[in-house]
């Protein structure tokens, strides 16, 4: 799972891999057996200590092999309220260490480990996917320019952090953070970071990392995609295609109706859109629906409809009500349209209905309603 392919300009390359993985297990095993039967490693290679970082995860003990950490509890720990089972944490370097350890088998890959974990009552809680671009045009400066041009469509925070040498004033590297937990896209200067941290210099024009950080249910859903045979690169670009969008600089004032930028389509390739949708109640949406039902403007619409019903009859009253709704549709904002989409998804899920409309079809229909002439 270290896919390599040529980039779009000469001598530039792409490398993609897992850069962080955390998983918890609800199984009753001795820690030595866990290391041997689940990780296929030798427990003699691990250091064992009481407490350590395990305390942060509410376990009693830590087993370490470099940056591979296993947190677990003994019977007394569990009696005292600590967690049973195991949590394993592959940090960035821990992933590389595990690869080196397992590649000696000859045929191992990350897909094998993910399948083994899921067969043993595992719940993934963090997955970081790192796409490294060498000598690329998709630098953090390039991305920042597109954001400043207001061509990014994303409902969330976008932040920029710079690393400055306080002695020389030199700008070592920068990071762009799009969104926050449970899904964050981080784009930064990996070449500058390596030089800043370890004084390492690399003979490349640039080395940029696009890192997708998933936590909680989103991490678990992504790992299930991998278990089902999805390639890591297709999953990475598929999630980006579903949740982030860069559009052309010119066109409709409503950004959502502009075409996707050519560079963004080139970057994503043919990846299948993958929306990591977590099925949970949206309290803000429910509150708004309840308010509309009990106190909102639709009460006035109902009163007008009933008045017209008794004067003109049901067909005429419904026709007048429809025209009022169409006139009001001019006031719908992008946020309103997003809320309508979310409501459609939730209602379909709650009712067990598979919608005959795709997301793009729903948006198209909303726009038809929004800009339909009253005479029509």
pTM more than 0.85: no
Q: What are φ and ψ of residue 333, in 5° steps?
A: -100, 175
> Lowest-pLDDT range, 180-194, 278-292, 333-347?
278-292
Let me know if residue 95 belongs to a domain. Answer: yes
Q: For residue 374, what pLDDT is reported?
A: 42
Let me know if residue 337 belongs to a domain. Answer: yes
The better pLDDT of the pair 53, 171 is held by 53
Query: Would the pLDDT of 236 be above 90?
Result: yes
Whether residue 222 sits in one domain with residue 152 = yes
Let me know if residue 317 belongs to a domain. Answer: yes
Query: Would the pLDDT of 292 be above 60?
Result: no
Q: For residue 187, what pLDDT is reported?
A: 95
**Residue corresponding to tokens 């691990």:** 46
Question: How much is the average pLDDT of 329-340?
Answer: 71
Model confidence pLDDT, tens digit, residues 7-34: 444 477 899 999 999 999 999 999 999 9
Let me know if residue 267 belongs to a domain. Answer: yes
Whether residue 113 sits in one domain with residue 207 = no
Burial classification of residue 119, based on how many CB atoms lie within 10 Å of its CB (0-12 exposed, 13-18 middle, 19 or more buried): exposed
Whether residue 174 sits in one domain with residue 96 = no
> Lowest-pLDDT range, 179-183, 213-217, 305-309?
305-309
Let me know if residue 22 belongs to a domain. Answer: no
Q: Rounded to whole angstroms, how far apart are CA atoms 305 and 313?
A: 10
Q: Rounded to whole angstroms, how far apart are CA atoms 185 and 165?
A: 25
Whether residue 156 sits in one domain with residue 253 = yes
Distances (CA, A) of 325 to 95, 233, 339: 55, 45, 17
Q: Rounded to whole angstroms, how far apart are CA atoms 84 and 72?
A: 7
The better pLDDT of the pair 363, 217 is held by 217
Whether residue 274 sits in one domain with residue 289 = no
DSSP tag of 247? B
Domain boundary among 278, 304, 338: 278
Q: For residue 178, what pLDDT is reported?
A: 95
Whether residue 143 sits in one domain with residue 189 = yes
Distances (CA, A) of 68 to 54, 65, 274, 338: 12, 5, 29, 41
193-57-157 Cα angle (round to 5): 50
Question: How much is the average pLDDT of 311-324?
Answer: 81
Query: Would the pLDDT of 55 be above 70?
Result: yes
The better pLDDT of the pair 1, 165 is held by 165
Let me know if residue 375 belongs to a domain. Answer: no
Let me know if residue 164 belongs to a domain. Answer: yes
Whether residue 147 sits in one domain with residue 259 = yes
Model confidence pLDDT, tens digit, residues 129-149: 999 999 999 999 999 999 999
Q: For residue 8, what pLDDT is reported?
A: 40
Q: For residue 194, what pLDDT is reported?
A: 72
Let me know if residue 343 belongs to a domain. Answer: yes
Q: For residue 361, what pLDDT is reported?
A: 77
Count Cβ atoms below 10 Å from residue 116 Cβ, excluding itself: 15
Whether residue 260 sits in one domain with residue 163 = yes
Report which of 11, 10, 14 is spatially closest to residue 232, judged by C-alpha positions.
Answer: 14
Full residue range of the structural domain in which residue 259 is found: 1-17+129-278
Whether residue 135 sits in one domain with residue 1 = yes
State the number of CA atoms in the 13 A half-sphere of 167 facing the CB. Answer: 1
Whether residue 272 sits in one domain with residue 153 = yes
Whether residue 149 sits in one domain with residue 75 = no
Residue 6's pLDDT band, with cuts at 50, 70 and 90, is very low
Query: Would the pLDDT of 71 be above 70?
Result: yes
Report which of 176, 143, 146 is spatially closest to residue 159, judged by C-alpha positions.
Answer: 176
Query: Would the pLDDT of 300 be above 80?
Result: no
Q: For residue 3, what pLDDT is reported?
A: 46
Determine the length of the chain: 376
pLDDT > 70 in the chain, percent = 79
Task: Decide if 101 contacts 81 (C-beta within 8 A).
Answer: no
Model confidence pLDDT, tens digit, residues 344-370: 777 776 666 666 677 677 777 777 766
Q: For residue 2, what pLDDT is reported?
A: 47
Q: Rounded to whole angstroms, how far apart are CA atoms 89 and 72?
A: 12
Say whether 9 sits in a helix, a strand or coil: coil
Number of domains present in the structure of the chain: 3
Q: Share the mean pLDDT of the chain.
A: 83
Contacts of 1 (CB under 8 A, 6+ apart): 17, 18, 109, 110, 111, 232
DSSP tag of 260? B
Q: Rounded to whole angstroms, how far apart are CA atoms 376 and 367?
A: 15
The rounded radius of gyration (Å) of the Cα atoms in the chain is 26
Whether residue 53 sits in one domain with residue 91 = yes
Model confidence pLDDT, tens digit, residues 73-101: 999 999 989 999 999 999 989 999 999 99
């Amino acid at each position: 799972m270290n896919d390599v392919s040529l980039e779009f300009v000469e001598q530039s390359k792409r490398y993609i891999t897992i850069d962080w993985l955390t998983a918890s297990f609800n199984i009753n095993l001795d820690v030595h057996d866990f290391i041997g039967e689940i990780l296929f490693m030798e427990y003699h290679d691990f250091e064992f200590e009481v407490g350590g970082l395990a305390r942060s995860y509410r376990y009693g003990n830590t087993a370490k092999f470099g940056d591979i950490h296993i947190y677990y509890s003994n019977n007394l720990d569990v009696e005292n309220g600590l967690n049973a089972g195991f949590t394993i944490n592959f940090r960035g370097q821990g992933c590389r260490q595990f690869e080196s350890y397992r590649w000696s088998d000859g045929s191992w890959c990350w897909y094998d480990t993910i399948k083994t974990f899921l067969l043993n009552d595992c719940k993934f809680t963090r997955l970081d996917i790192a796409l490294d671009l060498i000598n690329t045009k998709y630098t953090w400066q390039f991305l920042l320019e597109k954001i400043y041009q207001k061509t990014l469509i994303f409902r969330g925070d976008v932040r920029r952090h710079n690393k400055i040498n306080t002695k020389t004033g030199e700008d070592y590297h920068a990071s762009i953070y799009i969104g926050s937990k449970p899904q964050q896209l981080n784009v930064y200067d990996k070449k500058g970071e390596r030089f800043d941290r370890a004084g390492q210099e690399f003979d490349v024009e640039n080395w940029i990392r696009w890192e997708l950080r998933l936590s909680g249910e989103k991490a678990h859903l992504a790992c299930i995609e991998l278990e089902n045979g999805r390639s890591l690169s297709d999953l990475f670009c598929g999630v980006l295609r579903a949740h982030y969008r860069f559009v052309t600089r010119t066109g409709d004032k409503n950004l959502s109706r502009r075409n996707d930028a050519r560079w963004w389509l080139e970057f994503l390739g043919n990846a299948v859109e993958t929306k990591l949708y977590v099925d949970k109640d949206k309290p803000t949406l429910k509150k708004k629906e309840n308010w509309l039902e009990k106190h909102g403007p639709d009460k006035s619409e109902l009163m007008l409809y009933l008045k017209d019903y008794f004067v003109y009859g049901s067909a005429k009253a419904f026709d007048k009500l429809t025209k009022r709704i169409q006139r009001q549709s001019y006031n719908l904002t992008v946020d309103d349209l997003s809320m309508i989409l979310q409501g459609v998804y939730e209602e379909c899920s709650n009712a067990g209905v598979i919608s005959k409309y795709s997301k793009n079809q729903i948006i198209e229909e909303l726009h038809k309603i929004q800009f339909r002439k009253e005479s029509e």
